Amino acid sequence: MQPVNIINQSLTYIEENLKTEITTDELADMAGYSVWHYQRLFSQMTGTPVAVYIGKRRLDRALKEIAGGRRAIDVALEYGFDTYAGFYKAFVKIYGDSPKKKILKTEVSIMFNKQLFNEQELRDILLNWDIPQDLPILDVYIIDGTEVSGNVWSIGEEYILKAGNRESLLKNLNIVKALATQGFMAATPITTKSGTEYVDGQQIVILSRGVKGSPLSKNERFGVKRQDYGRKYGESIARLHKVLKSIEAEVQPKNENLYSTVTDWVLKEVKKQNKQYQMGLSEQFFEGYINNFKILHDKLPKQLIHRDPNPSNILFDDKEVSGFIDFDLSECNVRLWDPCYCATGLLSEWRGVEGIFEKWPEILSAILHGYDSVNPLSAEEKQAVYYVLCAIEMICLAYFEGNDKLKDVAKVNREMLMYIVKNEVMIKGLI
């Protein structure tokens, strides 16, 4: 069994047993590894030591139950803390805030992400499908321990349950169905007992079979095989684009203009942040960007794209790309967006990765060359890589800075934009 699958099994076991004692020895024995090797593998895959990961997950789950109205002392005791004082101390050490303050700060986020349905309500919803009704219901996590955004649950090892906005989920549904007809691996829906593809209510709820595989871990993405994986990212996006192009008329996506998005909305906010945070972007940068990208943009191929092919949405099985998930944001835009967005998604994880700014250009180059080998880039696309990378980062800056809960993310994107602008000549020479 692949190490990534072994650790995924451990993460599932941990989620199912957070209210009981879980030891590293127990997990290592289940995995068939020595304790030393297991601890090393777990930390490599998740970026966190075993005990720290379990402790944080207990605090995360306890916080949700407290936010749901349960008495804090009762929850603390259930999750293995001898006293509420011990729970409080551990919580402040991890979060830097008391449980009460943390709930107040994240109330909207918690309700949006995982409080749409409680477990009993989910059990009632699952009765609509002819599947075993005793399967565990778990929140979905990528390999680095980050919870997937939105209302998504893993039902056993085979199914994914997703709830949310009607328009975006129906668009996602139409795309995965069309992809499946073209032989592309996709999370196709399972019909309900009444023959419908989803349960309709205040929210649409869709049950699908999960695509086999999982995202690459952060250490794999930036490890010794980073160029090989970069090329595989690029090749898989190119293959995806060929299929998306063939179903474009069927899906009828919304058309977006990247240049107009940047010039009509984004640049004003970026100029504001440039002054506020002393980013060092010159007026010549803004003027040159507007003039040069305008000439290129009108000549760039446009089609139905994924729009959100970050590394968490690209699954690997046995070191090969097995499929894509989450087409909720798909639209008609410049196709160069997707390989560039994949690259910036990798760069956004710079915290905790040694030498990432030195490693990233060769990964970006591998993604672009991988794409070009399957779905050749036009001369204008090769010239526009730098401008699309800047557009992605500036859009992120404008969006994240406007959300109080995402200001830390905006800070990361400022660092990324400054790095990209500083290395304009190098980036333009990659392909």
pLDDT at residue 298 above 90?
Answer: yes
Dihedral of CA atoms 39, 42, 44, 49 in degrees, nearest 10, equals -70
**pLDDT at residue 147 is higher than 50:** no
Last residue of a domain, one of 113, 144, 167: 113
Position 149 pLDDT exceeds 80? no
Task: Flag whether pLDDT at 122 surpasses 70.
Answer: yes
Highest mean pLDDT among 191-205, 339-353, 359-373: 359-373
Greatest mean pLDDT among 5-14, 56-65, 194-203, 412-421: 412-421
> Last residue of some domain: 178, 209, 240?
209
Euclidean distance between CA atoms 256 and 128, whole angstroms: 37
Q: Quote the domain boundaries for residue 13.
A: 3-113
The span from the CA of 407 to the CA of 397, in Å, is 9
Q: Is 363 found in the same domain as 235? A: yes
CA torsion, ordered 196, 201, 207, 208, to nearest 10 deg = 70
Q: Which residue has the higher pLDDT, 382 or 33?
A: 382
Res 145 pLDDT > 50: no
What is the model's pLDDT at position 385? 98
| Residue 288 sits in the same domain as residue 401 | yes
Of the listed ranges 64-68, 256-260, 388-392, the least confidently predicted one is: 64-68
Q: Do 162 and 244 belong to one domain?
A: no
| CATH of residue 186 | 3.30.200.20
Q: Six-digit token pair at 188? A: 């196709």
> What CATH number corresponds to the domain at position 281?
3.90.1200.10
Give the domain-ending residue among 171, 186, 209: 209
123 φ/ψ angles, rounded to the nearest 5 degrees: -60, -40
Planar angle of CA 85, 91, 92, nearest 5 degrees: 90
Are the C-beta atoms of residues 302 and 332 closer than 8 Å to each other? yes
What is the band of 426 on the pLDDT scale with cuts at 50, 70, 90?
Answer: very high
In this prediction, residue 109 has a pLDDT band, given cuts at 50, 70 and 90, of: very low
pLDDT band at 344 (very low <50, low <70, confident <90, very high): very high
- Regarding whether 191 and 42 lie in a shared domain, the answer is no
What are the tens digits of pLDDT across the range 25-80? 899 888 888 888 888 888 777 767 888 888 888 888 888 777 766 788 888 888 88
Distance CA 186, CA 172 (A): 11
377 and 269 fall within a common domain: yes
CB 341 within 8 A of CB 308: yes
Check whether residue 36 and residue 89 sit in a common domain.
yes
Task: Please tell me whether residues 289 and 422 are part of one structural domain.
Answer: yes
The overall average pLDDT reported for the chain is 84
Please give the backbone phi and psi of residue 370, each rounded to the nearest 5 degrees, phi first: -65, -45
Q: Verify that 165 and 222 share a domain, yes or no.
A: no
pTM: 0.68
Q: What is the pLDDT of residues 211-242, one digit of tens each?
A: 788 888 878 888 889 999 999 999 999 999 99
Alpha-carbon distances of 286 from 234, 278, 289, 291, 415, rounded to whole Å: 29, 15, 5, 9, 17
